[in-house]
Structure 1
Amino acid sequence: MKLPEFQKYLQQENINLVFLTHPDPNITYFTQMKPSHAFLIIKQKEAEFLVTKLDVKPTIKNIVTNYFTPDWEKKLADPKIKTIGINKEFISVQYQEKLQKIYPQAKFIDISNQLKLLRSQKTSEEIAKISKACKITSDAFNELINAFSSKFQTEQDVAFFLERHMKNKGCEIAFPTIAATSKNGAIPHHVTSNQKLRKGFMVLDFGACYKHYNADMTRMVYLGKSTKEDKEIYNLLLDSQRAAINEVKDQQSFMHLDKIARTTLGKYSKYFIHSLGHGIGVEVHEDPKFKNHKINKNHTFTIEPGIYIKNKFGMRIEDSLVFNGKTKILTTAPKELLSLNI
């Protein structure tokens, strides 16, 4: 993606090379590949991608691709290398020690924050891929609603249907689908099981991954006939999400959106137990982090308020958005509370 921009940063900071190791998501970011095992070595004016012979040797613009050889470490040795950038969040102690043996003269610095900053502002190509992932995700929900019948017996039945639709559209699954029926919904990261579907709210949190870029969406359905109180609580949550989205603008603090959402929830805000959202891209959760960032142009992120009442029910409404001077909601599946018969 932004390889020339990153290399300009290396020149400005006098960093001779950056060494990225599997499974660092920045390898996928720069190469648009997800190999089983690989290293990416980025210098100020060139880059080399090392892969095993078990993987296809790709052709990548501005990056030379080679297979690992028995003497790959010796080939890397260069006494002129004085400063090496590493991503401390992903490099193992083993590989850092190996690099220190190859480059005993070099200073090692952590460039993880610069990588996060680079990836947080998306290119038009990245936004197009995230938009495609979001469309396929939204379509999967619509297909589920149209197909829903008594043949859906368990949480896994629902999750498998959604995942099959996304895979049939040429996508990977961004993360394990959450289908949480009744009181299981009170656990935000419930693990989908063969639990029989029960009357009440059901949380559906899922996303497609299209060409390495992710979508994240949560929708609610009601199994059986909802009560007036059920609808009122749900509509309050929907108002909370809409209020936060309405406050999205350039240089707005994400924590301001968080405050707006919680204020709108009123007495139910104490049951909102997680962040309002997160950045999304090559990783499902990435920068911008809501705790300490402001909205910038070409940020992609989620807005996902929730209410979780232990041993009763949980609900969450989540959309993926892009801010490109204006706010655009990328996940377009309907958000009115739908009642389904079981």
Structure 2
Amino acid sequence: MNRKMQWLRNKLLSMDLQGMIVSNPVNIRYLTNIQAEGILLVTRKENIFLTDSRYIEDVHNTLTLFDEIVVYDMRGLSIDDYENFFMFCENVGFEENYVTYAKYKEYMHRFKINNFVETENMIEKQRMIKDEEEIESIQKACKVTDDCFEYILGYIKPGMTEKQIAREIDDYYYKNAEGTSFDTIVASGENSSKPHAVPTDRKIQEKDIITIDMGCKIDGYCSDMTRTFFVGEIPEEMKKVYDLVLKNQVQTLNDMREGYSTKMLAKMVDNDFRLNNYDLIHALGHGVGLDIHESPIISTRSENILKENMVVTDEPGIYIAGQFGIRIEDTVLITKGGCEALTKSNKEYVVI
């Protein structure tokens, strides 16, 4: 049995759960590498993946004998088959933050479950700590992201639209990785004041500010990086804001290490911004993995403690409505004595 499935079985045992239904496809991929539609059943004696005939061949090609996962075509299962999977299981776990109420009732009825128990995001919590293979995939994705940024700086010219630049970034990722890890953000001029701006037909102009937030996937694992740069020259009023954001971004990198409070990290940035009459209007960072946004969240309202081999972002930003915004973001690996920025693109003033 693979290491992650064995961990899950041991965890269920410690929680007095005799089985579990895993239905979140990201958690299924994390545990088994399966990317096909279906659900994973952890029963008293077996690990079972239920899918349909469209995916059987693909699933069998993914799994090995070592995985010890039995695959069934759900179309061939009888009512008795479903009811027997969790026979003699007093408590069965489910993913309460993923399963809808309608699906909850369906599972209870179909599998004849006695006691359906919330599992409190235990798989998502385990995903926060990356193993060597996961870290290597994220490092590769970050390298492609750095290469893309270098490429796009040479590509952008005044007169191009935000949409045109975003399409070029997306094309780069589909040629050099598995595609984008989220919808690429290209925000220029006054559009940069919107943290999650959508690329528009606005054309790049001389003396513009441009914020690009982008990432890609390797082996399913994400990268995430934001850089803000300038066209032609840097307006003086933007330099002060840029310097303040960069100072706090670098200071956060200096402070990140195992054992550090995520709330304290965010409070320090928020306090410095407030001293300068700005606000930290979004989280300072978030976990990165198979999902682009994972636990832990780094914010003034979070109560998490950083641990070795977590991968998180460090992304302070200041936004002045209707004028401009500046955000600088790295994907970061937490270590015992500090951290390592996995995205390494230049963060000093960049003028194209």
Aligned position for 2:328? 317
Query: 1:299 offset after TM fit, Å?
Result: 0.8
Alpha-carbon distance between aligned partners in 1 of 2:285 and 2:202, rounded to the nearest angstrom? 28
- Within a 5 Å distance, the mapping from 1:237-276 to structure 2 comes to 237-268=245-276, 270-276=278-284
Aligned position for 1:84? 92
Aligned position for 2:228? 220
User: 1:229 aligned to 218, 232, 237, which one?
Assistant: 237
Aligned position for 1:292? 303
Aligned position for 1:42? 42
User: 1:121 aligned to 122, 129, 133, which one?
Assistant: 129
Gaps of 5+ in 1: none
1:188 aligns with 2:227: no
Query: 1:269 offset after TM fit, Å?
Result: 5.6
Query: 1:236 offset after TM fit, Å?
Result: 1.6
Gaps of 5+ in 2: none
Question: Aligned in 2, Cα 1:74/1:201: closer, same or farther, shift over 3 Å?
Answer: farther
- Within a 5 Å distance, the mapping from 1:163-174 to structure 2 comes to 163-174=170-181
1:329 aligns with 2:341: yes
1:177 aligns with 2:189: no
Q: How many residues align?
A: 337
* Matched-pair contact (CA < 8 Å) for 1:271–1:309: no
Question: Aligned in 2, Cα 1:271/1:105: closer, same or farther, shift over 3 Å?
Answer: closer
Question: Aligned in 2, Cα 1:207/1:72: closer, same or farther, shift over 3 Å?
Answer: farther
Which shifted more, 97-106 or 78-87? 97-106
Question: Aligned in 2, Cα 1:141/1:83: closer, same or farther, shift over 3 Å?
Answer: same
Query: 1:266 offset after TM fit, Å?
Result: 4.8
Could you give the per-residue CA deviations for residues 113-135 of structure 1, whole angstroms, max 9, x where no partner exists? Answer: 21122111111111111111111
Query: 1:268 offset after TM fit, Å?
Result: 4.2
Query: 1:50 offset after TM fit, Å?
Result: 2.1
Question: Any idea what SS the aligned residue of 1:129 has?
Answer: helix
* Matched-pair contact (CA < 8 Å) for 1:241–1:305: yes
Could you give the per-residue CA deviations for residues 16-44 of structure 1, whole angstroms, max 9, x where no partner exists? Answer: 211122x5421121122332x21111235
Alpha-carbon distance between aligned partners in 2 of 1:131 and 1:45, rounded to the nearest angstrom? 37
Aligned position for 1:62? 68
User: 2:143 aligned to 120, 131, 135, which one?
Assistant: 135
Aligned position for 2:51? 51
Aligned position for 1:5? 7
Query: 1:158 offset after TM fit, Å?
Result: 1.1
Alpha-carbon distance between aligned partners in 1 of 2:8 and 2:73, rounded to the nearest angstrom? 24
Alpha-carbon distance between aligned partners in 2 of 1:226 and 1:33, rounded to the nearest angstrom? 48
* Matched-pair contact (CA < 8 Å) for 2:288–2:312: yes
Question: Any idea what SS the aligned residue of 1:9 has?
Answer: helix
Alpha-carbon distance between aligned partners in 1 of 2:340 and 2:44, rounded to the nearest angstrom? 36
Which shifted more, 43-52 or 230-239? 43-52
Alpha-carbon distance between aligned partners in 2 of 1:118 and 1:63, rounded to the nearest angstrom? 20
Question: Any idea what SS the aligned residue of 1:270 has?
Answer: coil
Which amino acid counterpart does residue 9 of structure 2 have in structure 1? Q
1:159 aligns with 2:166: yes
* Matched-pair contact (CA < 8 Å) for 2:317–2:327: yes
Aligned position for 1:149? 157
Which shifted more, 105-114 or 267-276? 267-276
1:32 aligns with 2:38: no
Alpha-carbon distance between aligned partners in 2 of 1:62 and 1:281, rounded to the nearest angstrom? 25
Question: Any idea what SS the aligned residue of 2:212 has?
Answer: strand
Alpha-carbon distance between aligned partners in 2 of 1:172 and 1:65, rounded to the nearest angstrom? 29
Query: 1:219 offset after TM fit, Å?
Result: 0.6
The two structures have a TM-score, normalised by structure 1, of 0.92
* Matched-pair contact (CA < 8 Å) for 1:57–1:67: no
Query: 1:166 offset after TM fit, Å?
Result: 1.3
Could you give the per-residue CA deviations for residues 176-228 of structure 1, whole angstroms, max 9, x where no partner exists? Answer: 00001111111111112222224421110011011111111101111231123
The two structures have a TM-score, normalised by structure 2, of 0.90
User: 1:339 aligned to 329, 343, 351, which one?
Assistant: 351
Query: 1:76 offset after TM fit, Å?
Result: 2.7
Query: 1:80 offset after TM fit, Å?
Result: 1.0
Alpha-carbon distance between aligned partners in 2 of 1:45 and 1:57, rounded to the nearest angstrom? 20
Question: Any idea what SS the aligned residue of 1:173 has?
Answer: coil
